[in-house]
Chain A
């Protein structure tokens, strides 16, 4: 299966280990990654959209055009990119709005016809690749590894646009973790936003702390991440919180956040360095111990 890769900004520029994990774990599942030239930032659904909503939609439409012209489906690996491109595709079903955006795109000889297809890679793995094929690629099952999934917000909501899973009772990540031999747990605050996109430092801190305090009630070895923004809240963000709340539970036990495709890489036999786990602020020590590394 050939798919156009939309890497986004945050992952290739700040967390390239996530990109490395994607590029190394998908080919064994039968996915051929195609790098189409010309993509820009999706653009980001928080800041760029806050500056000018129509500019945001226009830049997103240009990205959709590139895949549409190539006749390829886009796969995304960041929840923000997935949100922007899916929402833009949905909004541009409105013909009046589409012609308004196309007036601008005509200046660069492009036209968005409305036929692009965008899916987050986890939806493609579940719907097109299947769990059996993922399990078949595993050389080192994550036996007894307990993963607290953090779905984050933009992968799932608004659900009629994202069409990934039920936001009130999602399972896609649980299936993916179980397919590589791990176990998942749902903690009390599993649904809570990480706070990353909130401009109030206090609210942001309260949200991140609330999620972490809740996970600490469980016997989790790591957090299972799918969004790079959430990852930053729980990696560097957790270090900052632990310094502020010295000698509290936050300081005494760190919960390492790990991007799902790094876990998949470990299960497929890659080394921790090959998926960049040595680049994390909080190392997933007990995960590695349990799988004998």
Chain B
């Protein structure tokens, strides 16, 4: 690739940098420390946090935030956050890309289901019928019903007047 082939879409890059967690992206000098200690890269060389950050720096994020994107192969282990000498926090950049993907309805199945369950029930895990019996057998109190009024207000600002 000659220099003339490189284009940077600054608008898209700024859009990403505005998302919480992706604000250190421009510190990256492409050293690859994140790759050396990445368990997903070890088992699937097509997953590479350094090239994900490079693409993000070029503003080339449409494919990364599209359906079945490689970003979902991140195991969220935080090794890259630990290793990065520049405090780029590659895993947070990947999460910011996931935010874009989720907002356009292109995230992996299950992400929005779990997010909705937390908003509706206050819990990330659904309560199965047999659980109360198991809890009782272990001498534990029944699970409390979580009041989610606060969540609906802080997560959907326009709901405030309706609910309070």
User: Which residues of A does B touch, CB under 8 Å?
Assistant: 9-10, 12-14, 16-17, 19-20, 23-24, 37-38, 40-41, 43-55, 57-59, 62, 83, 91, 97, 104-105, 107-108, 153-154, 157-159, 167, 192-193, 195, 197-200, 202-204, 206-207, 210, 274, 276, 279
Contact = CB atoms under 8 A, between A and B. Distances in A.
Given A40-B146, A53-B21, A105-B154, 16 more contacts: A12-B140, A14-B125, A17-B134, A19-B138, A20-B138, A40-B123, A44-B114, A49-B95, A50-B95, A57-B20, A153-B76, A193-B77, A195-B39, A198-B72, A200-B73, A203-B73
B14 interface: no
Nearest to A66: B150
Contacts of B112: 51
A16 B131 contact: yes
A6 to B, nearest CB: 13
Contacts of B21: 53
Which of B21, B124, B164: most chain A CB closer than 10 A? B124
A51 B115 CA distance: 7
B111 interface: yes
Contacts, number: 174
A59 to B, nearest CB: 7
Which of B98, B108, B118: most chain A CB closer than 10 A? B118
A70 B124 CA distance: 25
Contacts of A202: 43-44
Interface string B122-139: 111111100100110011
Contact of B73 (A44, A49, A52, A199): A199
A198 B115 contact: no
B123 A62 contact: no
27 contacts: A9-B123, A9-B124, A12-B143, A16-B131, A16-B138, A20-B139, A20-B140, A23-B140, A38-B147, A40-B118, A40-B151, A41-B122, A43-B124, A47-B114, A51-B102, A51-B115, A53-B96, A62-B151, A91-B20, A108-B153, A153-B77, A157-B81, A157-B82, A158-B82, A193-B75, A197-B77, A203-B39
A102 B41 CA distance: 38
B150 A279 contact: no
Interface residues of B, number: 58
Nearest to B115: A51
A10 B124 contact: yes
Contact of B75 (A16, A23, A198): A198
A47 B138 contact: no
A270 to B, nearest CB: 11
B107 interface: yes
B123 A41 contact: yes
A54 B21 CA distance: 10
Given A13-B127, A202-B44, A197 B75 contact: yes
Given A12-B143, A40-B148, A198 B123 contact: no
Contacts of B139: 20, 23-24, 274
User: What 5 pairs across the A-B complex have the smallest Cβ distances?
Assistant: A199-B72, A51-B115, A20-B138, A157-B78, A40-B122
A157 B148 contact: no
Contact of A52 (B99, B128, B138): B99
Contacts of B147: 38
Contact of B78 (A14, A50, A158): A158
Nearest to B161: A107
B124 A47 contact: yes
Contacts of B43: 202-203, 206-207, 210
A128 B65 CA distance: 45
Contacts of A59: 118, 151, 154-155
